[in-house]
Amino acid sequence: MLGNNTVYNDTKSDNLGGLIMSKRALITGVTGQDGSFLSEFLLEKGYEVHGIIRRSSVDYRERIAHLEGKPNFHLHFGDMGDSMSLVKVVGAVRPDEVYNLAAQSHVQVSFDSPEFTADVDATGVLRVLEAVRACGLEKTCRIYQASTSELYGKVEEVPQNENTPFHPYSPYAVAKLYGFWIVKEYREAYNMFCCSGILFNHESERRGETFVTRKITLAAARIAQGHQDCLYLGNLDSLRDWGYAKDYVECMWLILQNDKPEDFVIATGVQHSVREFTTLAFKHVGIELRFEGNGVDEKGICIAVSGSAPQSLVGKTLVAVSEDFYRPTDVVNLWGDPTKAKAKLGWNPNKTSFEELVKIMVEHDMAKVASEGAAAKVRTNLAEYLEKGIVK
Ligand code: NAP
Ligand code: F7E
C-alpha cells in the first residue's frame, strides 16, 4: 500500500474479496476527462469503481482528487504499455465491466509521437482484451472501448453513422482503427461482450487545456480579465459535433447494459465551426467579435464590450491564426447521427445544448482565472508555445 490509502498494491487486492456485492467496474484512463465523470456516474449507481493510474512523479490527480478516499473508489498502478501490469490488476479486481478509456488522446500530438500513440491506443486495446482472457473472465466481463469519430477522418459521408466507411486521417485515428477492429474480432472470435462507442467530440470544464474548446474558453476568460492579449488558433473552419462529456459517459454504461454487444455512434447531431465556438465563448465574457480576412490572415476583432470586459479591448485583434496549429492532415467535417443510440439505448443526445456547453465551460473558466489572480500563467499565449516549442 502506498502513501494514499486508496492506492492498492496489486498483491493486496485479493483482500477485497468479501466486500463486494455490487458490480465492479475497472476504468483505464480514470484520471482523464471521461474517466473522472464516469467514476462519479458509476459510484452514484452503487458500483465499486477501480481505476488504473500511471506512476508519476507527482501525487496529485486533479480530476479525481474529490473521489480519492471514498470507500468504493480504488486506484491501482498500471500502464497500457505493460501487459503484466494489466493482467495483475484485472486478476486482482476481477471486474464485471471494463471501460478502456486510456489513450494518448491528442490528435496533433499523435503526429509528433506516432509510435507511442500506436502502442497505447492500438496495442494497448489488445493488451486489455488479452488480460481479460488471461484471467479467465472472457465469459463474464463486459468491455467498453473508447472509439472515436476520428475514424471517419477524411469523411466519405455527412452526417456519419454506424455504416459510414472509415477513413482515418491521423496517426491517432489509425491507432484507434486497430482498437475498433480488434474489439470486433474478439467479439466474433471468442464471443466476448466487447463493444466500441464511436464518440464524437465531447467537452467539459475538465477538458484538457490544449483541446480547442478549452483553449478558447480559458483564453476568453483570461482576455476578459486582462491576463492575455490574443488567442492564436489553427483552422477556424473546422466543423465538429460537440457534446457535453457528462452526458456521454452515461452512454458508455448504457452500451454495456444492452442485451447484446454492439457498436454505437454517440453524438448530438448538431454541428458548429471552431469560429462559431470562439464567437460564442467570447460573447459569454462580454466581448463581441467580428472576423475579417481569410486563412492565415483571418482575425477576430473586438467590436463591442459589455459587463465587466474592459472598454480598452474595442478595436483590438483578440483572435489570430497561426500556422503552428495547422495539422499535416486535418479532419474538418465531423457530424454524427445518433439515431441508433436514441432508439436502442434510449439515450438523449440533446440533454445539454451547444449553447449550454459553452456557458458551462466559460463560467467555470471565468471563476478559475479570477481565482488564479493577476499572476496567472498564460499557457495559451503563442510566445510561450514558440519559446518552449513543445505544447501544441
Ligand atoms: P484524456 O482526458 O486525454 O484522458 C486520457 C487518459 O488516458 C488519462 O487518464 C491518461 O493518464 C490515460 N493514459 C494515457 N496513456 C496511458 C498509459 N500509457 N497507461 C495508462 N493510462 C494512460 O481523454 P478523454 O477526453 O477523457 O478521452 C477518453 C477516451 O476517449 C480516450 O481513449 C480518447 O481517445 C477517447 N475519445 C475521446 C473523445 C473526446 O472528445 N473527449 C472522443 C472520442 C474518443 P494521465 O492522466 O496519467 O495522462
Ligand atoms: O481539435 C481545430 C483542429 O484538438 C478540433 C480528441 O478528444 O476529439 C478530439 O480530437 C478541431 C481540429 O480535437 C486549434 O485542427 C483549430 O480540426 O479540440 P481538438 P480533435 O482533434 O477533434 C476526437 C473525437 C478524439 O477522439 C480525440 O481524442 O479544431 N483547431 N485551432 C485546433 N485544435 C487545437 N487543439 N488547437 C488549436 O489551436
DSSP for residue 304: E
First-to-last CA distance in the chain? 37
Q: Is the CB of 241 under 6 A from ligand 1?
A: no
What average pLDDT is seen over the chain? 92
> How far apart, in whole angstroms, are the C-alpha atoms of residue 47 and residue 340?
27
Residue 281's φ and ψ, nearest 5 degrees, are -60, -45
Per-residue pLDDT reduced to its tens digit, 125-178? 999 999 999 999 999 999 999 999 999 999 999 999 999 999 999 999 999 999
Nearest CA, atom 28, ligand 2: 105
Predicted local distance difference test score (pLDDT) of residue 21? 64
Indicate if the pLDDT at residue 18 is higher than 90. Answer: no
Percentage of the residues of the chain whose pLDDT score is greater than 90: 89
Mean pLDDT within 285-308: 98
> How far apart, in whole angstroms, are the C-alpha atoms of residue 35 and residue 41?
10
Predicted local distance difference test score (pLDDT) of residue 17? 47
Marked catalytic residue, from 47, 152, 169, 172: 172
Indicate if the pLDDT at residue 320 is higher than 60. Answer: yes
* Least confident piece of the model among 6-15, 106-115, 168-177, 341-350: 6-15
Predicted local distance difference test score (pLDDT) of residue 97? 99
Mean pLDDT within 326-347: 98
Nearest CA, atom 38, ligand 2: 233
Nearest CA, atom 5, ligand 2: 212
Q: How far is the CA of 176 from the centre of ligand 2 (A)?
A: 15
Indicate if the pLDDT at residue 91 is higher than 50. Answer: yes
Q: What is the pTM of this model?
A: 0.94
Indicate if the pLDDT at residue 96 is higher than 50. Answer: yes
Indicate if the pLDDT at residue 198 is higher than 60. Answer: yes
- Across the chain, the runs of DSSP E, i.e. the strands, are 7-8, 24-28, 48-53, 73-77, 97-100, 142-148, 194-199, 202-203, 231-233, 239-240, 243-244, 264-266, 272-273, 287-292, 299-305, 317-321
Q: Is the CB of 153 under 6 A from ligand 1?
A: no
Predicted local distance difference test score (pLDDT) of residue 373? 73
Indicate if the pLDDT at residue 378 is higher than 80. Answer: no
Predicted local distance difference test score (pLDDT) of residue 392? 53
**Residue 48 and residue 24 in contact, taking contact as beta carbons nearer than 8 Å:** yes
pLDDT band of 391, cuts 50, 70, 90: low
